[in-house]
Amino acid sequence: MTWLAALYPWTKALHLIGVIAWMAGLFYLPRLYVNHHQVPRGGADPRQEHFARMERLLLRAIMNPAMLWTWAFGLLLVLTPGVVDWRAGWWHLKLLSVLLMSAFHMFLAAQRHGFARDERPLSERAWRWWNEAPTVLMIVIVVMVIVKPF
């Protein structure tokens, strides 16, 4: 595992690139759902298909690969000797937050299928609230990694 220590700066940089791309999608997709929700139901409006296509491409071309990239390089980081003190409390909260971020990603992906079928189980207002979830999780993750308060 010493080879991981030698590659640590590259692993960290590649992990951060993935995080930025993933977060961009997590911020944008709920906003697309807000806009999509404003399109009248019934399929007559051409914006319906336009939003469905944008949502599908964002998820498949950016968000899914970025999440996998982030997880892959994140796992390499935690396997790098000396990077994580496994007894530290910050690590556990950070991991929980990343798991919640991944669950939120899966929730958004499931909701995309509903929008594609012209279903809208959540209100526009609910989507505006859900749009804040990745921000809260990101704040917790960054504070845990940088400040390591406990």
pLDDT 10s digits, 67-100: 999 999 999 999 999 888 889 999 999 999 999 9
Quick one: pLDDT at residue 98? Answer: 98
Average pLDDT over residues 95-119: 96
Rounded-to-integer distance, Cα 64 and Cα 60, Å: 6
Question: What's the pLDDT band for 39 if we cut at 50, 70, 90?
Answer: very high
Please check whether residue 143 is in contact with residue 149, taking contact to mean a CB–CB distance below 8 angstroms: yes
What is the arithmetic mean of pLDDT over 36-49? Answer: 88
pTM of the model: 0.93
**Inter-residue long-range contacts of 93-96, CB under 8 Å, 24+ positions, other chains counted:** 93/140, 93/144, 94/140, 94/141, 94/144, 94/145
Domain positions in the chain: 2-146
- 13: pLDDT strictly greater than 90: yes
